[in-house]
Structure 1
Amino acid sequence: MTQQPLFDIPKGSVLELDGQELLVTGLERAGYAVECQDTGECLTLSVARIEAAIRGRDCEVLEPADAERRKALLEFTGGYHRLEQFSAPVRLEAQRRLALVLAMDELAANGYKITQRSMSTHGEHRNALILRANKIAPQLKFIKKGSEKKPKPLFPIAEGRTLAKFRDLYHRYGGNPVVLADREHLKGYRTSRLVPWQERFIDFALNHWQDKRKPQLAPLVRDAAKVFHRTAAEMAQCINFPSVTTLRQRAKAFSDVATEFGRGGKRQATNKKGAGSTDVRALRYGEKFEWDQVYLSIFTNGSGVVQAEPIDPDDVPKKLADNEIRRCWLHVILDVATREALGWVISETADSDHSLALLRMATRDKTKEKVRYGCKEDPAPPVRLGLGLADNGSATRNGRVYAAQLGMGMTVMTGRAYHATDKPYIERFFGTMQGQILNFLPGYTGSYPGELTGYNPKPSAEVSHDQLMGVITRYLVDEYPFQPHYGTGMFGATPRQKREEALKRYGRIKSPSQHERCLYLGTKIRASTTSEGVKAFNIPFNSSELQKFADGKSKSVTIHLDPDDLRTVLITAEGLEAVLEAQLRMTLFKDQTLEEAIELMEAATKANPKLRALHREQLEEAKTRRVRDSCYFKDSRDWSCPRFSGHSGGCGLSCDELARRTHLQP
């Protein structure tokens, strides 16, 4: 059954649908036959499709008469059909003329005989016209205040002949005020002054200029003129090739998007000129996070003091010393819903070890950093992480990090290469932090090579690694969470305010699991059980469960250690179904991290090497004396020699040599 149309759409109407203008050429059984005004394509749209678009306010119907009037209007104005399309001065002048036209209509309706002479300066109805226009649009201020009896215009007003022309145009085009605007944009010579072969040469040259190798325009034009083909008739015209200035003006007429696509490629153009993201990607705290690393634009010093010494390039170790000037990597995890920093780590390299340390920081309490660096506010609380979005960097895209994330129950999502909108929040965060913090610290290198032409950052480095960590920590805890944020979905709220709103609307925070942290985010080490338990990094751990499993034997086990919490470790072994727990047996390390514990042990062994050598000598002498005084060992010397009883010389040593070796005087 053929559906009967609900809306009256006569033949010749224009449908504005899906960004196209479709001319209705007739109504068929299958629907409306239309023709695209831009491409000339003919197609049939069903009645249901058109009516659904009209109901959904997605289709504008212009009847034939309206379409003709609009066509004539656009031809007269040069493509403009609303006052908002003009600049502010042109729009103001059109509004003044509209007020005068409406004033003329009111005077004519009141019985005034409106003529060109009567509306001109010193005309019979000039003052009445100005007063009526000022009454219609007082905000335009036609006259000075207090000059109502003898109006004094504040700006030039056209004469009667021009005013009559404005009135005629206004009514001829259906009362559209756009026809009253100046048409300065239509002035000038509109046709090209170049002959056809010159236009072809410009197209030829600019098409080769739009190349991803980004050639320079001037040499390209000179070379293109040598290979451009012209017919004999074109050569006989004795016309030169267009100048480089002409081609440069044509090139500037290209849109930035077209130029970026041609000379930068589709991938670069999409990143640089593509539309931004307008979707709200997370609502709950910890639901989705973005993480990345950035090579900080600042040189730091391990001690905060600039030092220099000659080094041998053949013997220099790969690992930098504490006092060497370097640039550091900053690893950050950012919560998408609240834009709050969940974790941050500074390191010498971008690798999986520091990525795991970053995940551990996001899932633990950060009060230690707050106290160490003197923060006044509370940092972001620990949370069970949901979906993690990272790029293709080696620090996050590797099997070890992926396995840890999946073990923690996270969803792994990898952003596409060269698509900045896949993870825009963390990228923007790095730019904000650089402009607000790093730019004001000594040793700042600039955003790109060569930006700071008069400043040498290396000799200016004064900030130590720990000081830089303190500056960044105080910024992320005391400043950034309380700054108004105008990103997508934030609407000017601060990250801390957004977190409180998320907790109120979408529920409390999901707590992280310490058991999973040890197994998947911690450090693993192989060890053997003893009667004292096990040792990881020379730190003792023991428990009743472990001793029952060992049963007095030495068994190989795997220790899972949380570097941020040494109080308890998890132990797994081949053939053992349960996961055992063991507690720290040295209370000295109870409140320390693994790094701090190792540093403490290394400091004890590295302190004052000369004094340690002296102590070794004293220890050896004391041991030798104790052994001799015990009389446990018999004298191993041969006494058949005349000087030594029993020394026969069979040992191959002279008496003098034997005496020297036994510390006796000859």
Structure 2
Amino acid sequence: MTRHFRLSEIDCLEIAGAEHRLLTSDRSGSIWSRLDDSSVCLSFTSDDFMRLLSRPDVRLKRGAFSDQSAFRRLRCDIDYVQTMPPEQRAKILWQATCARTFLEAEARGETNRSEQVVEKIIPILERRVNDIEESGQDVGRNPRAGQLFERRRFPSTRWLLQWVRMYEAGGHSPLVFLRKRRPDLSTRKLIAEAEAVLAECVVGYLDRNEPTQQQIVENVCDRFAKINRGRSTAGIAPLPVPSARTVRRRIKALDPFEVIAQRKGIDAARRKFGFYEDGLSADYPLQRIEMDEWQIDICSLLGESGALDGWPGEDRAKFEVGRRWIYVALDCATRCVLGFRIVSTPNADDAIRTLNLIIQDKTPIAEASGCQTSWDQCGGIGVLATDQGSAFAAEKFRMAVADLGATYEAPPAGVPKLRGRIERLFRTFGQQLAPMLIGRTFGNPVERGDYPSEQWAALTDDELAQILTLFIVDIYHNSPHAGLKGETPANAWKRLSAEQGVTPPPDANHRRAVFGIPLNRKLDRHGVRAFGINYTCSQLQEALLRGASGEIPIRVDPEDLTYISICLGHEWFSAEAVSHAVWGLCLSDWLEMVRELRTRFREEAVLSEQIIRDTRKKIFAIDARARQLRRVQPPHLTAEGLDREERQLFTGLRIGPEGSAATGDLERPNDRNRPKPDDLLGDVITPDAPPPQPMSGGASFGENIREVSDDGDEWTFDD
């Protein structure tokens, strides 16, 4: 299906360092004009644009030319929260929580922006913020007596309101709190005015240029000065000019929804007021996404993926039985499921992995599950709404949302109607999917009766993942939905994406920087090495020339080892794998290949890239389906586990021709000794070469082969 991306004139497309601004965009594609030379224009179809975003030198900066982005740039030059020191990062996320909690209370009518009123509700706001922060600190910990929770002193009324204004001006991004803003000490006052003329002047506040209240006060003064000069000439008594306080009071009396709609746009007004009035309406795909966790109403076998396949039922019953959890992300406008992930227990890492599925085309997962329809619903996130669970309140989750450029909202606990769509989806799972499966747990003990859920558990994680994918993609997406007035979610996505467009997903480098596995690697002459693969780019070379050394942060995409992202300063760049043999490989396949190669070629010191290609074909043929389903299942790689694998498996592994930059061995001494016994695969993997032929007399490779080392001494692999 041809995609229609929702692009805006305030978006910036950076190609090889050159910035471009959108001229036009429709269903056929988009046209971009170069900023420094408006005569240069580029056009892309939707498919071309998707391929463009995967390039390492392309960045799509959503809203880069908006007033909110301009405000953020005036305050800081950092684009990613995760590149900041942990203490500073935690503080600005806490400040964002304070501002967001106040805005929620204001939208419910519990307070306004009068300091006297806010002063009364400060203790309540402080308690709510502390609850959110403490739930985020509980992630990954078993509750125990004596555990410490970090609390921060709540701001004064004046500073809280200052933070709220900054938070709104910066587009609800925590980055606006990086530098202090000097307070406006202007206390100028003006005299009162007549009511009719004052009303005409106050209407000027409802303008997209967003004039300040002080500007309106000055406009009132100028207007009445002009009127009074005319009245003085005519011998008429001058009109009394209203005071500044009177003008501000009239401005505050304006309808709040109309003020936001006129000054910031209808979308901003709906984000602020909509969900307390009509349940967070959404007009186009990915404008608003609801995400939550749910314990599946099915008892299943808790085994590793694929470990129980082919086992008879009586043997399966001997394994541990329990209920899995699931994270689900739902698009509010179309009711399409944008991603799900089965987990053992709720945690922030798997919640972040579910975010990653939102921005990816999941058709390969659907094909691996045997679905008849595609699962191509994906794109950039607008507003993400969750509950106040500990996984969502965790610092790393909020940091990932902020770095994606999305707006994070956590409606108050105990009000499920504020997340009604995702709650209704879970009821659909329980009412329509669970009755079709064995091992159902039902909604409550009375309804369950004496049904032996644990004894009848039979589904593994593989089967559960496949069943959920089939139900979502083929059944739920293609069933009439009452919330869509009988339209199916799949058709609603097609219609709205064609009419309104879809926000494009982040570029490849941005996605790796946010969702990649975080590691630290040393920079040296060959660039950086991860899992035996050397990566390099022009920015790394320049950093080395300038004397940079030591370890630098990197991010690895476990689905593709072609590129990694490296952090220099506060900026992320793409670095390419030197060896083409690993291009397109996922990390789990590469780990499996290296294990097999170390076993098969234990007696060989040199391997060719053709061997790697042959092994790739075998692995792809074996587990192509399982590799896709693993993206939504509990087992996953961690940074600690990868560090351990690299120490044990990749020691000494290098890829590339002997004596090249790829090996990092540019100055090989002439008297280098022969490979040592522990250098399995250890020296190099060379380019393609003819496979070794059997020796005369039937001797196989590795038997009685004699080689001459650089110093002239003969040696064999038997040595």
TM-score (norm: length of structure 1)? 0.44
Q: Is the radius of gyration larger for structure 1 or structure 2?
A: 1
Higher relative contact order (CA 8 A, sep 6+): 2
TM-score (norm: length of structure 2)? 0.41
